[in-house]
Amino acid sequence: MLGLVWPPPDEDALRVAVAGRVVLITGASRGIGAASARRLATAGAVVLLVARSTADLELVRNDVHGSGGEAHAYSADLADRKQVATLLTRLSEDHDHVDVVISNAGKSIRRSVAESYDRFHDVTRTIDLNYLGPVQLLLGLLPAMRARRTGHLVNVSSVSADIPAPFWATYTGSKMAFEAWLRCVAPELRADGVATTSIHFPLVHTEMSAPISFYRYLPGMTADEAADAVCRAIAYRPRLMSPWWSRAAGAVSAAAQPAADALMTAYYQGQRSGRLHAAGKAARRAAERIAGSPPSAGR
């Protein structure tokens, strides 16, 4: 009811949707991707695991095999055009087709625009992995899906697509780019029997979110709960899964833009004040250490 998790799908419905079918998962070495791979393999899917880390992929594959499932590991960096092309060649050689693609691999970054003036490489790295890489992969897989007149594309996205917020411009821009691309091609794909689903996840407590320290105090989903949502998407094929509160916030923001802008500006100013205060404390302590004096009490 709070919109923090989705209920898992009916087990029979999930088995009907995936048993014997080939499901490709990017970012499958950990977090949502790894949990989804284990869950889908248990339901009878043949899972293709894609990620950069060969060692971590092997661990997930061994887990799947140990539970009686079938998994195949493919090491590839989706931000690298040549590696994606090689991956597509290997997939076509090893498998007759792919039924479901879960675009889960992603890069998260939280940084203000003031801290990004000389860091354009953050933008290119993020968009390469969150937008261009997934599109390149799908362009290689879609012809066979459309020819077979069946398939499903699942986009693991974020509530930031509903509620853009300060500090998240690079990340949200890349996620919204892929979301917009998928929405544009969806009618073309549906005409050939290929479904699309976007899942706007709230906070999921994984290694990707761990570096942001204050997230540990916020309510969020576990990787296994997020995997249940992915499985629900595959079982029932909705066009969009988004928490009610993020959809409501997005609608209110669109209807009352000046008020929404003022709220976000106030949020940014509060965050900036806190960051400036912390930076000032750190600078004072550094100066005191250099001068050889003891730290001032109460700072």
Active site residue 267: no
Instruction: Say how many Å lie between the first and final Cα of the chain, rounded.
Output: 43
Between the alpha carbon of residue 89 and those of residues 27, 86, 287, the distances in Å are 19, 5, 57
Give, in degrees to the nearest 5, the angle at Cα 212 between 179 and 133. Answer: 30
Distance CA 79, CA 136 (A): 10
| Residue count of the chain | 299
Helix (H, G, I), strand (E, B) or coil at 72: strand
Helix (H, G, I), strand (E, B) or coil at 12: helix
Distance CA 284, CA 294 (A): 11
The backbone region for 213, taken as left when phi is positive above 0, alpha when psi lies in -120 to 50, beta otherwise, is: alpha
Burial group, residue 146, by CB count within 10 angstroms (0-12, 13-18, 19+) = middle
Residue 217 neighbours by CB distance under 10 Å: 6
Write down the catalytic residue from 74, 117, 131, 171.
Answer: 171
Q: Are strands 70-75 and 100-103 parallel, antiparallel or unpaired?
A: unpaired
Angle, to 10 degrees, between the axis of helix 54-66 and the axis of helix 31-42? 30
For the chain, what is the radius of gyration of the CA atoms? 21
Q: Token pair of 6, please?
A: 């989705």
Q: Which residues are catalytic?
A: 171
